[in-house]
Amino acid sequence: MNDKLIEKIEQLKQEHNAVILAHNYQTADIQDLADFTGDSLGLSIKAAETDADVIVFCGVLFMAETAAILSPEKTVLLPDKYAGCPMADMITAEQLLDLKQKHPDALVVCYVNSTARVKAQSDYCCTSANAVEIVDSLPKESPVIFVPDQNLGRFVIERTGRDLILWPGYCHVHVIITEEDIKAAKEKFPDAVVLAHPECTDPVKAVSDQLLSTGQMLRYAANSRAKRFIIATETGIIHTLKKQNPGAEFIPATERAVCPNMKRITLEKVLWSLQDLQYKVTVPKDVRIKAKKALDMMVEILPVK
C-alpha cells in the first residue's frame, strides 16, 4: 500500500520538479520519504537554496510561510491546511505592535515559530539553534523584546546574561514534559545523557545535560560516545536518531510529547498535495518584504550550528 503511494508521489515529484522537505517531528514514513529532513533553521536554508519549482512542506504553517517568504517565486504547498502551530498563534501582529509601543527603544527578535505578520514587525528572526547568537550580536545598550516563546526566551537570558522583555507564549508539547519524567527516566537509565529542547520548562532544563535544537540533537548523538539518551522533545525525532545511530538507545522522556499538528501530514495527503497542487501557502508582498529582512539575518548572517 505504502509502496504504491510512494511510487505515485515520486512520479508526481518528477513531473512538477518538486522537493519534499520534512521537519524532524514528522512521522517516520514522511521523514523517510522526504528529500531533506531537518530543524527549522536547516529547512529554512534548504527552502532558500533549492532550485525546485514546487516545495512540499511537511511541517506546520509557519514553516511553509517561511519557505514562501524566502522563495516567493516557488509554489509552496502544505499538505494539510490545518497544520498550524498553537505557539506561533499566541501573539498577533497587533499585540506585538502594542508591546513595541510600550518599549519604543527595543529591538524585536521573533522566534521563527511565529506568523509572517509577526515576523514583518520584527527586526530579527531566530530559531532555537541560533537564538543565543542572534541576541548576543545585538548592541548591549539596546532593550530586546523576545516573542513568542517564554521558555526559549529564558534559555537565551541565561546563556547571554541579557534582560529580555518576554511574551508569555509556550509550546504545549514541550511544557507537557515534566521534571518528574526526566528524573524517573534517569533513575531507570542512570548512564543516559539527557537531551532537552530549549522550549522545555526551566525545571526540565535544570535536570537535563544538553539543551539543543532538534538538528543539534542529531549532530550531538552522532558525535557522542554515549550509548543511551533520554530525549526531551517531540517523539518524532527518535525515528531519525535510531536510524542514524543503530548502536545507541533513545528513550523518550515521555510518550505524551506528541505534536498533533505535525502529525496531520500523512503519505496520502502528500500525494493529494502533489496531485492538486494544494494547499498553496502565499504571503502578501508588503508582509513578505518586511518579514524577509528579519529572516535574512537568520539565514545569511549566522552559520548553521
Q: Angle at CA 129, nearest 5°, toward 128 and 133?
A: 100
Say how many CA atoms lie within 13 Å of 46 toward its Cβ.
23
Does 259 contact ligand SF4 by CB under 6 A?
A: yes
Beta carbon of residue 251, minimum distance to ligand 13P (angstroms, whole number):
19
Could you say which residues in the range 260-289 bind ligand SF4, by CB under 6 A?
261-262
Among 226, 246, 237, 86, which Cα is nearest to 170's? Answer: 86
19 pairs with which residues across the strands?
55
**CA–CA gap between residue 169 and residue 171 (Å, rounded):** 7
Site membership for ligand 13P, residue 235 (CB under 6 A): no
Q: Which is nearer to ligand 13P, 129 or 135 (CB)?
A: 129
Stretch that binds ligand 13P, among 3-11, 125-133, 203-211, 267-275 (CB under 6 A): 125-133
Q: Does 150 bind ligand SF4 (CB under 6 A)?
A: no
255 grid coordinates: 510518550
* Contact status: 60 vs ligand SF4 (CB under 6 A): yes
Binding residues for ligand SF4, rule CB under 6 A, total 13
CA dihedral 163, 166, 171, 172 (to 10 degrees): 110
Locate 24 and state its grid cell: 524532524
Q: Is 135 left (phi over 0), alpha (psi -120 to 50) or beta?
A: alpha
Which of 19, 22, 31, 39 lies at the binding interface for ligand 13P (CB under 6 A)? 39
Residue 10: CB atoms within 10 Å: 13
Complex with ligand 13P: residue 129 or 271, whichever CB lies closer: 129
Tell me: does residue 24 bind ligand 13P (CB under 6 A): yes
| Contacts of ligand 13P in 48-87 (CB under 6 A) | 85
Of the candidates 66, 208, 214, 254, which one interacts with ligand 13P according to CB under 6 A? Answer: 214
Give residues in contact with ligand 13P (CB under 6 A): 24, 39-41, 85, 113, 127-129, 171, 197, 199, 213-214
